[in-house]
Amino acid sequence: MTDSIPHLVLASTSPRRLELLARIGIAPARLAAPDVDEDPLPGEAPRLYVLRIATAKAHAVERAANEVILSGDTTIAVGRRILGKPEDEADLRRMLGLLSGRRHHCLSAVCVIDTAGTARTRLSDTTIAFKPLSPAEIDAYVASGEGMGKAGGYAIQGRAEAWVRMLSGSHSGVVGLPLFETRALLGSAGVPLA
């Protein structure tokens, strides 16, 4: 790399986001873990929440002169309810019960800060419908441990994919980083694209 080509910093330690970037031929020069309070503000709408958190993550990482910062945030929304990461197994059961047999939205926001310090964001909104889940299916999923640490309590790239009756939008956004929006933002920031 020459100094004229910006160095990409991924403001995340998520292995899923790193794998998704690799799918489109992008390898960050470094990773940085942003320290951000991810609690929703009282009455905050899910779209505004996910954009705010993605932007806060990008700004939480120190940027050198020739670096571009990339951050993302993903949340699940049922109506105006934000389903973050489950606190425990009971919370995971509650979330899966809410999602059972109904449509919900996966909102995945991307923020890129270019070498001039300008922040730009894009939002991917994916509609997903789960089949009705039986108590046995919920119990088995909770026991698998797969849903802990995941927005909405499930990983679409895992066992939960078998519950999806319908998906309209970005599959990669549901995994954790919408690649179409990400590629567009990185290109506008001067990051070389494959």
Stretch 62-86: mean pLDDT: 95
* 3 included as an active-site residue: no
Longest dimension (CA), the chain: 57
Gyration radius of the chain over CA positions: 17
Which of the following is catalytic: 37, 73, 91, 125? 73
pTM assigned to the model: 0.93
d(CA 120, CA 181): 11
Q: Is residue 100 part of a domain?
A: yes
Which CATH number is 139's domain given? 3.90.950.10
Q: Show Cβ contacts of residue 113 under 8 Å, excluding neighbours closer than 6 positions.
A: 58, 59, 63, 68, 69, 119, 189
Q: Is residue 88 part of a domain?
A: yes
Write the pLDDT tens digit of every residue in 38-73. Answer: 999 999 999 999 999 999 999 999 999 999 999 999
Read off the pLDDT band of 1 (50, 70, 90).
Answer: very low
Read off the pLDDT band of 160 (50, 70, 90).
Answer: very high
Stretch 137-161: mean pLDDT: 96
Q: Is residue 194 part of a domain?
A: no
**What is the DSSP secondary structure assignment for residue 94, as one 8-state letter?**
H
Q: Is residue 160 part of a domain?
A: yes
Q: Is residue 2 part of a domain?
A: no
